[in-house]
Amino acid sequence: MTWGPLLLLLGGLCLQQARAGSHSLRYFYSSLSGGLPGAPQFSIVGYVDDVPMVGYTSESRRTEPRAPWMEGITAEDPQYWERNTEIFRGHEQVFKADVRTVMERVNQTRGLHSVQYMYGCELRDDGSIGAFRQYAFDGHDFLSFDKDRLTYTAATDAARITQERWNSDRIFIQRGKEYMEGRCIEYLKKYLKLGQERLRRVAPQAAVTRRKTSDRTFLTGYAYGFYPRDIEVKWVRNGVEIPWESRDILPNPDGTYQVRTSVEVQEGDDENMYRYEVYHSSLPDTVTVMYEEKSPPMGVIIGGIIGALVGVGLLAAVVWVVYSKKKKSGKSAYTAANRDPRPGVGGSHQHLLKGENIL
């Protein structure tokens, strides 16, 4: 169970990102202060969009493919797996030491603690580029990078020392930006080409159902069978957008996704006054659906059952891990990011944070 990436993914993905039609490459690092049944002490997972494609753990100590199409990377980069194994082994030692350093600085020698790190890049349909780099300690935001402003921003008072040190090193800042806009995007394009069959866009199907109680009527809109995950949905009544009950985006067994949203029909209204609108990066324009008196497609029913089971399982894993590591909380703590990456200042993150040779 690689739960560190799961925590960040669940927190970072939402419904309102689809219009850009972007593709992203992200890496998620997790480092624990001690052992936890079913979880490696250190792990890295690389994702293209929301598909895991490479992984490394302290148990295997090797960089390995998580998607079958990644086997093809050696055709143009024969040393890919060996090179990244060497790099990630170095990162493992850095992060394990960082967790111990954190615990010493906050005078917490017991309990389970974690450092998490996420970085990557995004290529949008309009050609613009996004970048991500952020740290968390024990599941809480700590430090993040703003590519447009070229600054690090502290999420807590404990991170301000790091913020000031890193922001004062403009060469360090510039090299990080160049990596995310250059090498990161270069490899994202390579991965997209390798996995183009699996990563192709699939348009959603949409339907609206009705449910009546003794005194209330609800309409539920479904969008299902789509890929990638990001999607924008809304309810409109007589041309005006209205609030709706949101549900999580759930996975289908075939690698696609589905989502459902519900609204209550106001007293005296006819169902035809309500329209369910769906936009996805695979669609040329918004799809509008109205209620029809017929059974929902079987794909909605089956996918909903399986997706709900998967979703509940993931949520249970997250809750259990968070509970296990947060029995004792409330004390501010330093994370690995407090160690300055520059030579001679006490840190060993220079190679890692500048993004060199991290693919």
The DSSP call for residue 179 is H
Residues constituting the chain: 359
Query: For 243-280, how does the pLDDT look when each residue is reduced to its tens digit (9 = 90+)?
Result: 877 677 888 877 788 999 999 999 889 899 999 999 99
CB of 105 closer than 8 Å to CB of 337: no
What local confidence, expressed as pLDDT, does residue 21 receive?
61
Q: Phi-psi category of 150—alpha, beta or left, where left has phi over 0 and alpha has psi -120 to 50?
A: left
Location of structure tokens 């935001």? 141
Query: For 168-214, how does the pLDDT look when each residue is reduced to its tens digit (9 = 90+)?
Result: 999 999 998 899 899 999 999 999 999 987 788 889 999 999 999 88
Cβ neighbors of 275 (< 8 A, separation 6 or more) are 235, 236, 237, 288, 289, 290
Alpha-carbon distances of 140 from 154, 322, 358, rounded to whole Å: 12, 11, 25
Residue 190, classed as helix, strand or coil, is helix
Query: For 280-332, how does the pLDDT look when each residue is reduced to its tens digit (9 = 90+)?
Result: 988 989 999 999 876 555 555 444 444 444 444 443 333 333 333 343 343 33
The model's pTM is: 0.67
What local confidence, expressed as pLDDT, does residue 298 receive?
53
With pLDDT > 70 as the criterion, what percentage of the chain qualifies?
A: 75
Planar angle of CA 121, 127, 129, nearest 5 degrees:
25
Confidence tier at 219 by pLDDT (50, 70, 90): very high
Half-sphere exposure of 118 (CA within 13 A, CB side): 23
What local confidence, expressed as pLDDT, does residue 312 receive?
41
Confidence tier at 127 by pLDDT (50, 70, 90): confident
Confidence tier at 159 by pLDDT (50, 70, 90): confident
Among the listed ranges 4-8, 12-16, 29-33, 93-97, which one has the minimum average pLDDT value?
A: 12-16
Q: Could you give the dihedral angle defined by the CA atoms of residues 130, 136, 141 and 145, in that order, rounded to the nearest 10 degrees?
A: -30
- Chain centroid to CA 248: how far? 14
What local confidence, expressed as pLDDT, does residue 73 receive?
93
Query: For 92-118, how does the pLDDT look when each residue is reduced to its tens digit (9 = 90+)?
Result: 999 988 788 777 766 777 888 888 999
Q: What is the mean pLDDT of residues 132-144?
A: 86
What local confidence, expressed as pLDDT, does residue 349 receive?
43
